[in-house]
Structure 1
Amino acid sequence: MRLNPVLEALGTYPFVRLDEAKAAAVARGIELIDFGIGEPREETPAFIRTALREALPEVSTYPKADGLPVLREAIARWVARRFGASLDPATQVVPTLGSKEAVFHMAELVGGEAVAVTTPGYPVGARGALFSGREVVELPLDAAGGWLPGLGAIPASTLSRLGLLWLNFPNNPTGAVAPLELLEQAAALAREHDFVLACDEAYSEIWLAGDAPVSGLQLSDITNVVVLNTLSKRSSMPGYRSGFIAGDPRLIAALKKYRPNVGVAPQEFVQLASVAAWDDEAHVDEVRARYREKRDLLWPALQDAGFANAGGDGTFFLWCQTPDGEDEEACAVRLLEHGIVCSPGSFFGPGGAGHVRFALVPTPEACAAAARRLKP
């Protein structure tokens, strides 16, 4: 059987490899506390679950690719409250099946020969680019400069070949937060060289300290700019797969033309539950407080075990330098033998060497137990 050579060349998805390692550890009798995959395990608020049940129809129909107007309007209301930005729900918003599918498919929508992604970074943007036949250009994040990309160092010859530039802030895996000035610089380059700036803001609501992160929707000019966000983290709804893309009306119109071909619209009962989620902020404050509690339980023990804080406060991730320059994969294997699962930084590209990521998704009780296991 002949398979797509891109699929064969990619090898196993990093977090599938992590699942395999966890299964082997469990088979050896090790009880795991899993900080590996950043999947929220908080209880979905009761009012959202109630909204879902009440929205279940007696007769099921296919959802429309452009989403329910009531959801687009709720998203626009949230953007106005949170970022002070005005969106036309009819022309500037499309609901998505979470954000991962939208990240993967974006390269199929735009022109250009290449897609730029940051390293370390979320791997799906690069994989979507490869499947769409594009070259992947890796932009290193500068650890000394707060894990931000040096946009001014990108050659004009590279910029002219781009169809898409991905920026993910607050950043996975580093937790870095970008200033609005960096997004303005990126948007200006996008307009000058006619590529799309796509801002993946999935973690915008889970900052652990400091001011609330900014959004690409706050830019003075959103021509050639789209922003992606999701309820998975904000509202503890990963299994609902509900997010959105918003921005330049030309890109939104193209998405409405493209998306009926791939069938990835969220179910309408999920969309209606999502309206309730976007319209409420009290539960988000509570979620954020729980992640801060878990950080405070785990972080002192990591420091005592020799890990150094290498990241920012923008997400529920702790991005750490390994003790004494230990190889990141060897470090992850060593911790796994003590029942603590983390993600090697190399999972996020070459820029992640020498680092590991802890996702603060276990319960506070589990975080406290992990802190005890880390003691010498």
Structure 2
Amino acid sequence: MTWTSSGARRGATMTIKELAERVGVSPAMISRYLNNGYVSEENRAKIAAAIEETGFTPSRQARNLRTGKTSLVGVVVPKISTETIGRVTAGVEEVLGRQGYQMILGNTDNDASAELDYLRLFERYPVDGMILVATEVTPAHERFLRESKTPVVVIGQRVPGVNCVYHDDEGAAFELGRRVAEKRPGASAAMIWVTEKDRAVGIERRDGMLAGLATGGIEVPDARVRKAAFTTASGYEQTHLLLEDPATPALDLVCCATDLIAAGAMKAVLERYGEPAGTGNAPLVTGFGDNELAQAVSGGFPTVHLGNRTSGVRGAEALISLMENPRTMPASTMLGFRVVNA
């Protein structure tokens, strides 16, 4: 094994044998020390002092050759610029860094085919493990996830037979809808939602919200459900079209699939009514995700806080466990939620 010096032999390299000669011990003892094996306190102190004096650090390449590991983890995300993904990757990086792993990030810009491309690339690279922060899970995704020889964990979606960390999207949306309906029973409502290809957001959140609203006698006809992309601009556009539609009655409530969509909806409401959402005659707007910036700018609106950083932490911990014990049976972890401003 080669060591690189930043001290007495700055810029030079030294083998374990040379380091052993410097300390006056055997190469085997140096190896045991580096791998946390048994070394007497006296010799451990001598080796530590020599390393401190010379500034030697272990060569990652040599260690990888010895262990067959790269100490790299591939992480595939749908959009790196969002606050939600920033929280998830911060949690992932926190855990990986403590365990000596480095993260390689693949940003797909919400392209499901690009997710598979990155997963296949990481598998060939190779990396020691992979994390997919998933949106759309196609049959091709499921097949890859089950057949991959590289340990993989999915965050944000529930995939049968695969290690997953996901949120209780349906339960959270139900509770948000129930609380809103309790305060505005029988309200005239509309929804700005997303594609059903994203099961967690497009289906589970939608079904939970509809069921929660129904507890207060609120129904949302299909004609008042508009499909948006996962952006503020799209939320604004679809809400604007909804509010200007002569076939749509005056609304009391606009429920949105995400906080970014809700931010666009609130802008459209402000332009249409001349007053902020939820005040005067302007309809109340709800979101999902507890986006810090959207909450600060708007002054607060009903939404759901999800433990996104926690999901990154739990996902990374699950991956490390899987990498250390490849035969571990697949397991899923569902995280909780907190309703905010409702």
Scaled by the length of structure 2, what TM-score is found? 0.34
Scaled by the length of structure 1, what TM-score is found? 0.32
Larger RCO (alpha carbons 8 Å, 6+ apart): 1
